Amino acid sequence: MTSHRPVPGRLRAPAPGWTTRADVVVVGSGIAGLTAALRIHAANPSLRLLVVTKDVLAAGSTQWAQGGIAAALGPGDTPEQHEHDTLVAGAGACDVEAVRVLVTEGPEAVRELIALGTQFDLHPDGELSLTREGGHHRDRIAHAGGDATGAEIQRALIAAVERAPEIEVVQHALAVDLLRAADGGVAGLTLHVLGEGQRDGVGAVLCRAVVLASGGLGQVFSQSTNPSVSTGDGMAVAMRAGARLRDLEFVQFHPTVMWLGPDSQGQQPLISEAVRGEGAFLVDFDGNRFMQGEHPLADLAPRDVVAKAITRRMIETGHPHMWLDARHLGAAFWERRFPTILRVCREHGVDPVTELVPVAPAQHYESGGVATDLWGRTTVPGLYATGEVACSGVHGANRLASNSLLEGLVFSRRIADVLPGELRDWADPVADVRPEGLVSGERRRSMQETMTTRVGVLRNAAGLAEALAFLGSLDHGAAEVGPDAWETTNLLTVSTALAEAAALRTETRGSHWREDHPDRDDTRAGHVDSWLDADGGVAVEWTYAPSTDPSTAEVLT
């Protein structure tokens, strides 16, 4: 175990200026958060539920999901086949039991999503139109609006919440810190709310349970497919409250993100894997299809394989990107199947009907997160986590395409199955004596650039040490108090835990690529946990080895 690099034990913030109560607070309004809220409400309508979201209800990552949601819904497909593909993609780091839960409960969960009002694309005979993405050996990706699946799911869930006025929603609310009871469990949550009636500024919600569904940490990096709200808030809040984070080193870099130039920052346009699923392919500047021979699935290999192949070819040739060739799909197909991607490409000056699309890997998904059991429980009593903020054990070292929406859906349903029956008694918050601090928002850009260059697609010991030295040098005494500094401090917390975990894992596995340790080492098949120790330092250590199924070592063709 290593323990150093202190980070603030709590965020410096004004004392709460208002107080309210709710039995359960759900933080986040994507598929994971809204599913949890709807299902908890259905299980016990008498509970007072509060959903808080950092922006507006539709502003999270769910709406940006293009490809779809994976489940064994098609003819000839089975949960066992879906399990196999998930385990192969996860590179020996999945929890088999969690994967089995995902794939067996997934089909019913998707059907209930349809019953809720989600309108997936259908064939003329009324059957679901299913497509294929990287790592899948069956057509099992249900999609909506061609390439607007997340937006359609978000629409249906918001409509369902609006039909349940008992679920209170507070928008423009940033979770600051958990309030803890004498036993270390949940007693409440402090929020900063911007202009929501009498609840303005910092306040406290006293509650009996908190469900974190706040999404990922994409803004740790300079370029990401994630929206600007993805600053790792839920992970940082959980860590400061005493929860364990797990496997943060497994950051998935999507291989085909539209390259906008060397100085581009922030959210980048995603070119869905489904485009390759429909027949597009990658080429280098000489027109060579370099994925041929790299993997039995070629351009549809798991994302870590494709991202590494693109990065290698970029390094070999000195070019800042590669190309995606989808010209042969034709205008009519593009307009029907990928209207959103077509519009975005054209807005950036590239017509994929007639031109190659410049692509390069960019941060896309955090496979690790707040460690949970199979029912979403964290190591803090009364705190649950679901969706990208959580590490359920499903994704292992590399998320299989389109399993993310399914994970949020399935594990939020499971939280709702147990939470109403295990609610804690009301408890008074105890005084918080953890050292407080803030990092200036002015340091965000340099943090992102350091993480991108030192802890990005390609990692080594020297670069990780440089990143950790930089993060450890940042001053926690910023005078400014407000959302920019709070978010930047959250980014520091999760960046430090991520870099420490990446330094400890001296092997290459899945989306974690150590050029100084290029081989997979199955003596290191376990998890890396991180938490804050008594001195406020980020501690990391190896934990148990996940159960693995040796039959997944052979890749199906």
Beta bridge partners of 174: 192
Q: Which helix (H) or strand (E) element contains residue 106?
A: helix 96-116
Q: Map residue 70 onto helix, strand or coil.
A: strand
Q: Map residue 201 onto helix, strand or coil.
A: strand
Asked whether the beta carbons of 40 and 386 are under 8 A apart, the reply is no
Active site residue 303: yes
Sign for the pseudo-dihedral over CA of 151, 156, 160, 165 = positive
Half-sphere exposure for 395 (CA within 13 Å, toward CB): 39
In this structure, the number of other CB atoms found within 10 A of the CB of residue 114 comes to 14
Q: Kindly give, in sequence order, each residue whose CB lies less than 8 Å from that of residue 207, ignoring residues fewer than 6 positions away.
A: 21, 22, 23, 24, 25, 50, 186, 187, 188, 189
Q: Kindly give, in sequence order, each residue whose CB lies less than 8 Å from that of residue 367, ignoring residues fewer than 6 positions away.
A: 247, 250, 251, 252, 391, 395, 396, 397, 398, 399, 510, 511
Closest alpha carbon to 68 in 360, 278, 307: 278
Catalytic residue, chosen from 10, 138, 303, 337, is: 303
Beta bridge partners of 251: 366
Unique residue bearing structure tokens 């029956």: 421
Active-site residues: which are they? Answer: 303
